[in-house]
Amino acid sequence: MILQRLFALVLLAVCAALAVMAWPYQAAFSYEPVGPRAYPLLMLGLMSLGLLYLAIRPTPIVHKEDEPQLDRESLIKIAACVGLLIVLAATFESLGFILSAILVGLPMARLYGGRWLPGAIVVVGMSIFLYWLFDRVMDVPLPLGLLSALEN
């Protein structure tokens, strides 16, 4: 019980530090009425509310017998997912959204038991569809990276 509360309090302190770092951020231009700092502050605020609840809740979190154990295989999958998300962040601008999403999506599909051909079809289709959705429908510019030669 004490470890759960301590973990929640440490993460609450991290949220507070990140909020202090995000508060003064101002962009030279803004394409949204509330500015670029609203999203991180909103997410940190919601996470802080949840962590505060975890820190002061009266009973500990008890795992039920039918819940899967956090074994070695699960931890390896979690670490692989985090690593793939870091690869996505690192290649997002240089490769562009579509190629970096494919680069991360294929191993992610395989990690969770997908087969090669259906996984590749879904990942490529979703990458192109999401690029189109964000860029054309929602008017959120995403980088094309290496595929920028294909643009108009």
Q: How do residues 12-37 score in pLDDT, each as one tens digit?
A: 999 999 999 888 877 666 565 656 67
Determine which helix (DSSP H) or strand (DSSP E) holds 57, and give its type and residue range.
none
Q: How do residues 46-82 score in pLDDT, each as one tens digit?
A: 999 999 998 888 776 777 777 777 788 888 999 999 9
pTM value > 0.85: no
Which amino acid is it at 39? Y
Pick from 28-32, 94-98, 133-137: least confident: 28-32
Q: CA 40, CA 47: separation in Å to the nearest integer? A: 10
Length of the chain as a residue count: 152
List the structure tokens of 46: 């919601």
